[in-house]
Amino acid sequence: MEYRTEHDSMGEIQVPAEKYWGAQTQRSYQNFRIGTEKMPKEIITAFAFLKKAAAIANFRLGKLDEEKLNAISAAADEILAGKLDDNFPLVVWQTGSGTQSNMNVNEVIANRGNAIAGKHLLHPNDDVNKSQSSNDTFPTAMHIAAVFEIRQKLIPSIESLIKTFKRLERENQGIVKSGRTHLQDATPITFSQEISGWRSMLEISLEQIKTALPGLSRLALGGTAVGTGLNAPKGFAEEAAKAVSELTGYSFQTAPNKFHALTSKDELVFMHGALKGLAANLMKIANDIRWLASGPRDGLGEINIPANEPGSSIMPGKVNPTQCESMTMVAVQVIANDTAVAFAASQGNFELNVFMPVLIYNFLQSVRLLAEGIESFNIHCVSGITANKEKMRYNLYHSLMLVTALNPYIGYENAAKTAKLAFKEDISLKDACVKLGFLTAEKFDEIFHPEEMI
């Protein structure tokens, strides 16, 4: 491999000749050989947007000339197009402010911009990082990345699954089945009512996620090192937020209190709480579906789900609820990530949080897993659910909790005696009620209509 010599305030260092990164990136690359978790690509994309936006703001305020603006913009556009992906090698486990990843982007944009210009035009600190600090750019990148991933990937996947459940509700109208509480038989419910509960869980989670979005639209950019805005021209924060909005198509505003924006991460904690709530709901829905599909002969067997792949290496013909298992594992990871997000947000001292890389790594992993997990669950499982009407009817008419319909006629205690006798002697509720002398067979038939108990 060929190398070139780069330098920073600490001196000279050798950098791979074919890469656009510089000295500070190389030092981090050599000093933090920890794990396999790279800085998320979503953060690099967000940095490309904010660096271009910062250049536009500096140009509008007379702090950067048009030639440098064009060079920065061209390099940033190449990052957004994925042309420079192999120039961002740094791991999550670096400085807690994300300084090294900020400088990684600065150096790549400067060196690539210089190559585009055909001369030494840009300096990574003086031009690409003008009016900025890692302390305000990294939290800004966190918010931009979070908004992008939630709006572009997670929300559409939730909406699609809601649409599928609405279709299943329509298709299963009027099918009465046994309800269940405490994993025990309960009074009847329609299958469409059961599905509506799942659908509503997702709708409420979606509402909570949308409620948390405005907080993520507030950007730290303009606070520079400690929130005072040192070395940023007057109006930079507002112009930068305006430029980010123009470039991304989403509405962003400058954070009203930069001291808060640098040191606190409560907007991300709040949003991840909504993601945790979604994960909890998905865990419940996936578990319900695999319980209802259990069997095919020795379980509940009330619904059919798609058979996607063989379920066992030793038991021929076995098919497992693999999409449900995948969805519940995603939920476990997201719920665990919430601990990392909250704990990271609680750390740091005085004017800066220094756990930002690990926080955003876990946050974005949660969004990614939820979006892709929901899409897979929807396509390969939920969309193919059908009702096993015969099994539902069989279970319904063998449920002892149908005895609840007799309460107004024979009283709670006599109804309980009827259920216990039916269970003990393995006879029907009707036979037990008549045997105990509580009702005649004719009267029982007159008042006992499970379909009307919903």
Residues known to be catalytic: 182, 312
Residue 166 CA to chain centroid, in angstroms? 22
Between CA 299 and CA 293 the distance in angstroms is 8
Bridge-partner residues for 5, per DSSP?
Answer: 14
Tell me which DSSP letter residue 3 carries: E
Between CA 240 and CA 221 the distance in angstroms is 7
Q: What tokens were used for 197? A: 């509960």
CA distances 90 to 37, 97, 285, 356, Å, are 9, 13, 38, 14
Between CA 84 and CA 115 the distance in angstroms is 13
- Helix, strand, or coil (residue 138): helix
Strand spans (E) along 379-421: 386-387
Q: From its phi and psi, is residue 34 left (phi > 0), alpha (psi between -120 and 50) or beta?
A: beta
Pairing of strands 218-219, 253-254: parallel
